[in-house]
């Protein structure tokens, strides 16, 4: 999005240096590796980098403007906007880009499933909007990622923006909503992610619920306890979504006025004031939690004008993002399920439920510990271990709270001989090489810090 110079100055409160040669509008970049002549380079600072170190490089590559926190003596003659805080200026520019965007914005947040739901929604929206959908790549869901997406928006090329919003501290979603101003907000669920940093379940719920603070139409998970409890505070009735194994599971949701439901893998139902409609579908994603993500995406697509009959055939082709329940066949007739992009208690339990339905000679789960759960770390790890006990034949545990995972599993009935404690990925891979056999399925699940992809790499070597 090109932002007029006067609008950029008002948004950021910047002081303009070398105004006579400043560009009339700004096309913003923060990466000198991809900067193009005429771009405006914003110098961002982080724990391990300082964009000011690259200001001169940006000027050499043709930047028409620099946004800096301090003057740079190495860039004489290049116009600069001097700001107090580079990140806040970047977000302010993104907010201005959002104001200039004529299309619709849908934002997705939640403790689990937000990246998968975002990917599913973008795929369903392509039915109506084709390549005029702009969705955040990967999980670029913080202040920088959301700002980057908004600044990429182009009225000539895009009709819909799909924004993912993450939260690592209290109030994060509110800040992102302030700049993105979503028309539609999809809340996948409220679980236990980042409790250590955010502070409490109530503060976590407040943080997620801020998704609707700017008036976004609420699309809510009917299976989420927090959403059901808080929905009465919304100005308008929510559009609910849910996944149930069979039609009888919908009875408890009969009072919800607007509902999109996946029933098993073969029926998609919508209910609104105009009546109920059901179509046959063929869904191939694993696990009830991924079916809920697909239902949420379908609800979001309906809100954005995609017809039910057009959504139905596209559901068969939905592809989750990498690292989410990836099925990988290795030598010896053993299959790995890699679902270790990240983990909290909700996602661990959901993955174990899906894993428990896998047909296998033996189900072996390799569970690493979860991070950032604060005072609830021990009890949540024991809960996950207990949940695993009824769904696996062998449990391999590692990480800071491996003992708690093992204790929970043993208390829930898994025998000591079925529980293996390892100290590192190499040891887990070695155990699997020695003990896994044809027909076994192995789940790899844990927080990102444990890098469980190293086990996949070792077993594929």
pLDDT for position 322: 86
Looking at the fold, whether 369 and 454 belong to one and the same domain comes out as yes
Looking at the fold, whether 144 and 266 belong to one and the same domain comes out as yes
Largest CA distance in the chain: 77
Q: How far is CA 291 from the centre of its chain?
A: 16
Looking at the fold, whether 106 and 133 belong to one and the same domain comes out as yes
pLDDT for position 204: 84
Give the pairing of strands 258-263 and 239-244.
parallel
Tell me the CA distances in angstroms from 397 to 198, 246, 412, one per residue in order: 27, 34, 15
In a domain, 94, yes or no: no
Number of structural domains, the chain? 3
Looking at the fold, whether 36 and 120 belong to one and the same domain comes out as no
CATH, residue 34: 3.40.1390.10
In a domain, 96, yes or no: no
CATH, residue 242: 3.40.1190.10
Looking at the fold, whether 106 and 79 belong to one and the same domain comes out as no
Looking at the fold, whether 362 and 406 belong to one and the same domain comes out as yes
- Distance separating alpha carbons of residues 172 and 260, to the nearest angstrom: 29
Looking at the fold, whether 51 and 70 belong to one and the same domain comes out as yes
Tell me the CA distances in angstroms from 162 to 91, 99, 115, 238, one per residue in order: 17, 16, 11, 19
| pTM reported for the whole predicted model | 0.88
CB 382, CB 356: distance < 8 Å: no
Looking at the fold, whether 353 and 439 belong to one and the same domain comes out as yes
Task: Supply the range of the domain harboring residue 378.
Answer: 326-460
Alpha-carbon torsion (46, 52, 58, 63), positive or negative: positive
**How many Å is the Cα radius of gyration of the chain?**
24
Tell me the CA distances in angstroms from 266 to 124, 150, 250, 351, one per residue in order: 17, 36, 15, 21
pLDDT for position 193: 59
In a domain, 95, yes or no: no
Looking at the fold, whether 331 and 226 belong to one and the same domain comes out as no
Looking at the fold, whether 56 and 109 belong to one and the same domain comes out as no
413 HSE (CA, 13 A, CB side): 7
Place of tokens 């520019």: 93
pLDDT for position 215: 94
User: Could you give the angle at the alpha carbon of 136 between the alpha carbons of 129 and 225, nearest 5°?
Assistant: 95
CATH, residue 394: 3.90.190.20
Looking at the fold, whether 337 and 420 belong to one and the same domain comes out as yes
Closest among 398, 403, 401, 404 to 425, alpha carbons compared = 398
Looking at the fold, whether 30 and 51 belong to one and the same domain comes out as yes
Mean pLDDT, contiguous 10-residue spans, the chain (461 residues): 96 94 96 94 92 95 96 92 97 98 97 93 97 91 95 97 90 94 96 64 88 96 93 93 90 92 92 88 89 96 96 94 89 90 87 93 96 86 96 96 97 96 96 95 94 94 80
In a domain, 377, yes or no: yes
Q: Domain end: 84, 113, 132, which one? A: 84
Q: Domain end: 281, 315, 349, which one? A: 315
Closest among 225, 228, 192, 223 to 207, alpha carbons compared = 192
């Amino acid at each position: 999005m090109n932002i007029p110079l006067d609008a950029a100055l008002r948004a950021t409160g910047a002081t303009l240096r070398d105004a006579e040669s400043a560009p009339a509008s700004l096309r913003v970049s923060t990466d000198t590796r991809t900067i193009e002549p005429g771009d405006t380079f914003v110098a961002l600072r982080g724990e391990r980098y300082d964009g000011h170190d690259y200001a001169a490089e940006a000027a050499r590559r043709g930047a028409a403007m620099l946004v800096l926190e301090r003057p740079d003596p190495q860039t004489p003659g290049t116009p600069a906007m001097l700001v107090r805080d580079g990140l806040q200026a970047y977000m302010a520019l993104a907010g201005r880009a959002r104001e200039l965007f004529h299309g619709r914005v849908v934002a997705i947040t939640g403790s689990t499933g937000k990246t998968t739901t975002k990917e599913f929604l973008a795929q369903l929206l392509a039915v109506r909007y084709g390549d005029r959908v702009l969705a955040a790549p990967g999980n670029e869901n913080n202040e920088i990622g959301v700002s980057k997406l908004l600044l990429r928006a182009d009225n000539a090329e895009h009709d819909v923006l799909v924004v993912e919003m993450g939260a690592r501290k209290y109030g994060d979603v509110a800040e992102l909503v302030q700049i993105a101003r979503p028309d539609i907000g999809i809340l996948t669920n409220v679980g236990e992610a980042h409790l250590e940093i955010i502070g409490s379940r109530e503060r976590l719920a407040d943080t997620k619920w801020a998704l609707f603070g700017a008036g976004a139409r609420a699309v809510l998970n009917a299976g989420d306890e927090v959403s059901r409890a808080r929905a009465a505070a919304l100005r308008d009735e929510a559009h609910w979504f849910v996944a149930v194994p069979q039609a009888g599971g919908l009875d408890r949701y009969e009072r919800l006025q607007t509902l999109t439901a996946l029933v098993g893998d073969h029926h998609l139902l919508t209910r609104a004031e105009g009546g109920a409609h059901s179509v046959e579908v063929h869904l191939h994603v694993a696990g009830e939690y991924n079916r809920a993500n697909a239902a949420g995406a379908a609800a979001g697509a309906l809100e954005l004008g995609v017809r039910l009959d057009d959504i139905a055939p596209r559901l068969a082709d939905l592809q989750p993002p990498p690292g989410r329940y990836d099925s990988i066949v290795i030598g010896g007739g053993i299959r790995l399920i890699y679902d270790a992009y990240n983990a909290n208690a909700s996602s661990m339990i959901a993955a174990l439920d899906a894993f428990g339905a896998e047909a296998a000679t033996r189900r072996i789960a390799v569970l690493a510990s979860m991070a950032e759960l604060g005072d609830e770390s021990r009890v949540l790890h024991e809960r996950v271990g207990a949940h695993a006990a009824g769904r696996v034949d062998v449990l391999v545990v590692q990480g800071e709270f491996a003992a708690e995972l093992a204790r929970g599993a043993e208390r829930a009935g898994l025998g000591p001989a079925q529980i293996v404690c390892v100290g590192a990925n190499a040891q887990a891979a070695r155990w699997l090489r020695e003990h896994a056999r044809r027909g076994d399925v192995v789940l790899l699940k844990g927080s990102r810090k444990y890098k469980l992809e190293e086990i996949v790499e070792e077993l594929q070597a």
